[in-house]
Amino acid sequence: MQMEQREMVERLARFIGEQGGFDKVEIENLRRMAGGASREIWSFDATLKKGAEQSKRGLVLRRDPGAHKIDTNRRAEFLVLRAAFREGVPVPEVLWVSDDPEVLGAAFFIMERVEGETLARRLLRDAEYGQARAAMPAQLAEILARIHRIDPRKHQLDFLTAPVENAALSEVRRYEQNFRALALEPHPAFELAFRWLLGRIPKTPRRTLVHGDYRIGNVIFGPSGVRSILDWELAHLGDPMEDVGWMCVRAWRFGNDRMPVGGLGTREDFFAAYEKASGLPVDPEAARFWEVFGNLRWGIITISQARTHIDGFVKSVELASIGRRTAETELELLNLIE
C-alpha cells in the first residue's frame, strides 16, 4: 500500500477531480497527522477549479492502513458521518468515498478539516481551555442525546443491524469471543469481569444509533468547547447507555480521576445533563454496568492493537505501546467490581 507522496498527491487530485467534476485540482501541504492508531489520517489543502470559479478547502483523508485486527468499513463510517452531519451533530462534512484499492492503495474517504485541538492533556491543563472545561460535560451530554435521536431508517443505514437479543448480553458475548481469539496468556481479572457482567445484564429497552467510541480523545475542541466529534468507525445499533458508560472509562481521564467523565465532570452532572437533553432517565446501575464493560472492552482492544503489531499486520510503535496498557484496565476492573 505504500506509495511515494508525489504519486499520492497525483492520484488524490485525479480522484477529487473526477468525483467533483472539477477542471483542475491542486493539492498542497499533504501531511500525515498524529493519532489515528487504527486508521491513517492525512491533512491537505485543495484548490478546486471549475470554469471561472475557484475555491480552496482544507480537507482530511481517512484511510485504512492495511490488514488490521479491528475490521471496520470506511464506506459505512462515511454514511454514518453523513447522517450525523445532516441531523446537526457537530461533525466534519464528508465529501467523497472509495472502496477501490487501485486509487490510493486502500479504502478511504475525504472530509472537511475542522480546526481545533484534539490533545486531551492540553484541555485538562492549559489555561486557555478553562471555559471549555466548564462547558464541555453539558455539551457532550447534549450532543450524545442528539446522536441517539438519529433515525437509521431515515438515512438508509440498513447495514447497522440490531442485535437479535438483549444488546448488553450481545456485546458481552461478542467481546468475550474476541478475547478468546486474541489472548495469548491468562488474564484472571478479565475472567472475573466477564462473570460479573454476565450476572448483571441490564434490560435494554431502547435501541438507538450508538457512536461506539464516544470519549474525550475523539473530540476537536476550542476555547469555548466542542467543535466536532470524530472517529465513527465503531458506530452500531444498541443500548445508548453504552456510550454513556464508555465516556466514564478511566483511561479517558488522563490522571484526573476525581472527575470520572473524561477528567472534566462527575457522573451525576453528566447523567443529569443527558436526561435534560434527551428527556429520558439514566439508570445509574445500567451506566455502571456499561462503565465496567467499557473498561473490559478497552483492555481487550489494547491486546488487539498489540497483536496487530506483533502479528505483522501494521508495524507501529504506537500500537505496541498500547498493548502495555492492558494491566491498567485489569487494576481498574478489580477496583470497580470489588
Could you tell me if 59 and 133 lie in one domain? no
Q: How confident is the model at residue 68 (pLDDT cuts 50, 70, 90)?
A: very low
127 has pLDDT over 70: yes
Domain edge (last residue) among 96, 112, 128: 112
Q: Between these two residues, 237 and 324, which has the higher pLDDT value? A: 237
Instruction: Give the mean pLDDT of 84-107.
Output: 96
Q: How confident is the model at residue 334 (pLDDT cuts 50, 70, 90)?
A: very high
CATH number of the domain at 50, please.
Answer: 3.30.200.20
Residues of 140-166 as b/e, b for ≥16 C-beta within 10 angstroms? bbebbbbbbbbebeebebeebeebeeb
Q: Between these two residues, 307 and 269, which has the higher pLDDT value? A: 269
Q: How confident is the model at residue 78 (pLDDT cuts 50, 70, 90)?
A: very high
User: pLDDT tens across 180-236, in order?
Assistant: 999 889 999 999 999 999 999 999 889 999 999 999 999 999 999 999 999 999 999
What is the pLDDT at residue 308?
84
Residue whose C-alpha cell reads 438483549 in the numeric block: 166
Could you tell me if 165 and 296 lie in one domain? yes
Rounded-to-integer distance, Cα 85 and Cα 338, Å: 42
User: pLDDT tens across 235-286, in order?
Assistant: 999 999 999 999 999 999 999 999 999 999 999 999 999 999 999 999 999 9
Rounded to 5°, angle at Cα 254 from 252 and 260: 60
Rounded to 5°, angle at Cα 128 from 124 and 130: 55
Angstrom CA distances, 259 to 135, 231, 263, 314, stand at 14, 23, 5, 35
Could you tell me if 192 and 326 lie in one domain? yes
CATH number of the domain at 293, please.
Answer: 3.90.1200.10
Instruction: Look at residue 6 and give its three-state secondary structure.
Output: helix
Could you tell me if 79 and 134 lie in one domain? no
Instruction: Give the mean pLDDT of 32-39.
Output: 73
User: pLDDT tens across 2-28, in order?
Assistant: 578 999 999 999 999 999 999 999 999
Write the CB contacts of 200 (distance below 8 Å, at least 6 apart in sequence): 285, 289
What is the pLDDT at residue 36?
55
Phi, psi of 228 (to 5 degrees): -165, 150
What is the pLDDT at residue 38?
66
37 has pLDDT over 60: no
Number of domains observed in the structure of the chain: 2
Rounded-to-integer distance, Cα 133 and Cα 276, Å: 20
Instruction: Give the mean pLDDT of 32-61.
Output: 90
Q: Domain limits at 105? A: 5-112
Q: How confident is the model at residue 66 (pLDDT cuts 50, 70, 90)?
A: low
Q: Own/partner pairs for 171-175, CB < 8 Å, 24+ apart?
A: 171/238, 171/239, 171/242, 171/293, 171/297, 172/197, 172/198, 172/201, 172/293, 175/293, 175/296, 175/297, 175/300
What is the pLDDT at residue 309?
79
Could you tell me if 232 and 184 lie in one domain? yes
Instruction: Look at residue 20 and give its three-state secondary structure.
Output: helix
What is the pLDDT at residue 67?
45
The mean pLDDT value of the chain amounts to 93
Could you tell me if 156 and 202 lie in one domain? yes
Domain edge (last residue) among 58, 93, 112: 112
What is the pLDDT at residue 35?
65
